[in-house]
């Protein structure tokens, strides 16, 4: 019995000893693992740090601290060489890409929201989170990085589920940039590449299909969001899930990247499918900064429920590259049971390009790009404008000779969603539009040639070959119905137009150019004084200039008005004196 107990004790002791040794070995082993892991982590961290600093050197080493901070114009004492580099980059891209590289992607912006916007409070838990979809084709790295940084820095993290970055067939893949984006923005950005360019419409739809959040925010790749931009865009969608919201679009200057205030407005298109901005209705102006109805969105920046976007079928699949898609989506939204609200408390800056730079996306093939846009316009008119399409076709007859492709799917969708006719849109959203852009145009103020009084053999010519500066050329024999390049109309919009082109004044005067009519007065506003025979640029009475013939160079300038100078006198082929006598009725001149 005793011996038995003793043997048992021994066993227990042995067991305890074994257990203790086991624990010590296990402890030592975990200690070793931990050490190894620590070593690994620190080597990964240092690798990551190294990679970041290497990539930073590639993309951010030229940044000049504080340049363009608070959205101020990015100015510096540039050398001649630097100025030349800027000019070259601007010629090639339509904006100052050279300067963009020197402005920090994290630059600050002045908070220019309306006072009462700053006081609004939102409960973030109640607002839906968003997938931001950005598509781009050959976007400049520094511009894209600033877009992304502004999103990260000024969006509540709780609301930003992801940024989906769709590379729409850019001509080359920048692996380094892609890596930098992954590292810099960690898991915030999901990148997706479409190998062959499909155009912004289908690229956006592809991005939307990857999205996980309930609300989609579409943005161009060259924007900067400002403080508090997102919450007010989401609030109206929360209240009505068939609402699409748009921010006020501020302007980022294409030359010096200054951030300028944009105006609240109601978007629309004119009968030539130019996007135009109408003033707010009286009651809307009084209620500022409350959201107001926006008939047609500008196109690049908007928020919409993912489900609603998909019910609307995204964009028409027949629309290619760019152009007209903002009209299609806006009309579809309003006519098929939704609404678009502009939200003045939300502001996003958009960098436009120099107006001279027109061809972006089709390897500099202007004809090809124009044809694609024209076809897009034709599709939108055919599907959504009903009998009013003829008004567009009368102004743009070239649309009617294009093959428009298959519209069955669009017509089917229109039926399925019980969409209303375009007449409803005009009746409900466009009363003021019809006053400004009537369906039946009254007679023009004057038309035919514009003949110089000082050099009566010469007439103003839109200079078909270059479409930039007009010239003086020998007058057509028929002054009332001259050849197209000399046929000018002092139109009801008070512009001097020849076909789709208008005379405009650039660079604070001096420079007279031909540009597509934009229908927004401003630098395309012209009047004719039948007494002095002056052709006068400018609506406001304190800033007017007169068209002056320069027969030595066969050109024209906009010069200080002098009624005595016969070089500033012109004769129209036909003058409607009755209408001219009412030219200034209801026109603001102060
Ligand atoms: N874009 C695209 N694919 C194209 C054309 C444009 O993804 O084939 C992108 C472009 O990079 C930009 C957005 O679509 O981010 C809108 O184009 P853009 O800025 O030229 O339009 P705009 O602002 O001039 O109206
Ligand atoms: Mn854009």
Residue 353 CA: which ligand 1 atom is closest? 24
Residue 221 CA: which ligand 1 atom is closest? 15
Mutate to test the pocket of ligand 1, among 206, 322, 348, 372 (most ligand atoms within 8 A of CB): 322
Give the pLDDT score at 2. Answer: 47
Residue 302: exposed, middle, or buried by beta-carbon count in 10 A (0-12, 13-18, 19+)? buried
User: Residue 529 forms beta bridges with which residues?
Assistant: 534
Orientation angle between helical segments 2-60 and 175-184, nearest 10 degrees: 130
Instruction: Compute the distance from residue 140 Cα to the ligand 2 centre, in Å.
Output: 13
Give the pLDDT score at 37. Answer: 67
Evaluate: CB of 200 within 6 angstroms of ligand 1: yes
- Nearest alpha carbon to residue 530 among 487, 584, 481: 584
pTM of the model: 0.80
Nearest-angstrom CA–CA distance, 419 and 337: 7
Instruction: Compute the distance from residue 355 Cα to the ligand 2 centre, in Å.
Output: 12
β pairing state of 243-252 and 302-305:
antiparallel
> Which residue owns the Cα nearest ligand 1 atom 20?
360
Nearest-angstrom CA–CA distance, 532 and 358: 37
Instruction: Compute the distance from residue 93 Cα to the ligand 1 centre, in Å.
Output: 13
Mutate to test the pocket of ligand 1, among 94, 137, 167 (most ligand atoms within 8 A of CB): 137
Nearest-angstrom CA–CA distance, 70 and 180: 25
Residue 322 CA: which ligand 1 atom is closest? 5
Instruction: Compute the distance from residue 320 Cα to the ligand 2 centre, in Å.
Output: 16
Q: Are 189 and 210 in contact (CB under 8 A)?
A: no
Q: Are 271 and 514 in contact (CB under 8 A)?
A: no
Sites in the chain below the pLDDT cut of 50: 1-3
> Which residue owns the Cα nearest ligand 1 atom 13?
220
Cα–Cα distances in Å, from 101 out to 90, 225, 318, 464, 553? 13, 18, 36, 37, 40
Evaluate: CB of 146 within 6 angstroms of ligand 1: no
Q: Are 259 and 502 in contact (CB under 8 A)?
A: no
Residue 137 CA: which ligand 1 atom is closest? 11
Evaluate: CB of 167 within 6 angstroms of ligand 1: no
446-580: CATH class: mainly beta
> Which residue owns the Cα nearest ligand 1 atom 9?
136
Evaluate: CB of 361 within 6 angstroms of ligand 1: yes
Ligand number with the minimum distance to the CA of 139? 1
């Amino acid at each position: 019995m005793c011996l038995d107990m003793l043997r048992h004790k021994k066993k227990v002791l042995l067991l305890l000893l074994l257990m203790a040794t086991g624990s010590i070995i296990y402890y030592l082993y975990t200690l070793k693992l931990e050490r190894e892991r620590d070593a690994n982590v620190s080597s990964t961290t240092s690798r990551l740090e190294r990679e970041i600093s290497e990539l930073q050197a590639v993309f951010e080493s030229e940044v000049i601290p504080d340049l363009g901070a608070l959205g101020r114009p990015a100015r510096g004492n540039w050398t001649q060489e630097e100025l030349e580099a800027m000019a070259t980059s601007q010629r090639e891209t339509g904006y100052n890409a050279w300067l963009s590289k020197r402005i920090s992607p994290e630059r600050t912006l002045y908070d220019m929201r309306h006072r009462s916007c700053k006081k609004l409070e939102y409960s973030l838990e109640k607002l839906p989170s968003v997938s931001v979809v950005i598509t781009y084709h050959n976007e400049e790295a520094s511009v894209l990085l600033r877009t992304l940084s502004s999103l990260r820095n000024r969006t509540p993290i709780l609301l930003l589920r992801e940024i989906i970055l769709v590379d729409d067939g850019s001509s080359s893949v920048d692996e380094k940039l892609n890596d930098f984006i992954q590292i810099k923005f960690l898991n915030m950005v999901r990148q997706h590449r479409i190998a062959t360019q499909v155009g912004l419409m289908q690229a956006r739809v592809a991005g939307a299909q990857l999205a996980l959040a309930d609300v989609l925010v579409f943005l161009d790749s060259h924007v900067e969001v400002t403080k508090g931009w997102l919450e007010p865009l989401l609030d109206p969608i929360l209240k009505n899930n068939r609402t699409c919201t748009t921010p006020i679009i501020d302007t980022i200057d294409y030359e010096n990247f200054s951030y300028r205030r944009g105006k609240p407005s109601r978007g629309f298109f004119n009968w030539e499918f130019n996007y135009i901005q109408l003033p707010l209705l009286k009651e809307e102006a009084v209620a500022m900064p409350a959201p107001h109805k926006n008939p047609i969105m500008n196109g690049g920046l908007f928020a919409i429920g993912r489900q609603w976007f998909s019910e609307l079928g995204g964009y028409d699949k027949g629309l290619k590259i760019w152009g007209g898609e903002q009209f299609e989506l806006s009309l579809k939204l309003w006519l098929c049971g939704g609404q678009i609200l502009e939200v003045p408390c939300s502001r996003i800056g958009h960098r436009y390009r120099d107006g001279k730079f027109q061809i972006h996306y089709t390897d500099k093939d202007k004809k090809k790009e124009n044809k694609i846009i024209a076809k897009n316009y034709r599709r939108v008119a055919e599907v959504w404008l009903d009998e009013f399409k003829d008004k567009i076709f009368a102004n743009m007859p070239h649309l009617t000779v294009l093959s428009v492709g298959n519209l069955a799917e669009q017509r089917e969708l229109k039926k399925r969603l019980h969409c209303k006719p375009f007449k409803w849109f005009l009746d409900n959203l466009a009363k003021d539009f019809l006053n400004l852009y009537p369906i039946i145009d009254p007679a023009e103020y004057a038309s035919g040639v514009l003949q110089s009084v000082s050099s009566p053999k010469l007439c103003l010519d839109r200079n078909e070959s270059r479409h930039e500066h007009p010239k003086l050329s020998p007058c057509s024999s028929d002054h009332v119905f001259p050849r197209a390049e000399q046929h000018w109309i002092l139109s009801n919009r008070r512009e001097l137009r020849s076909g789709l082109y208008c005379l405009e004044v650039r660079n604070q005067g001096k420079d007279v150019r031909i540009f597509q009519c934009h229908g927004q007065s401003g630098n395309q506003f012209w009047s004719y004084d039948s007494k002095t025979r002056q052709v006068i640029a400018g609506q406001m009475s304190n800033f007017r200039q007169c068209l002056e013939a320069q027969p030595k160079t066969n050109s024209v300038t906009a010069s200080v008005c002098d009624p005595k100078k016969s070089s500033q006198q012109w004769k129209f082929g036909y003058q409607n004196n009755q209408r001219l006598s009412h030219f200034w009725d209801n026109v603001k001149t102060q």
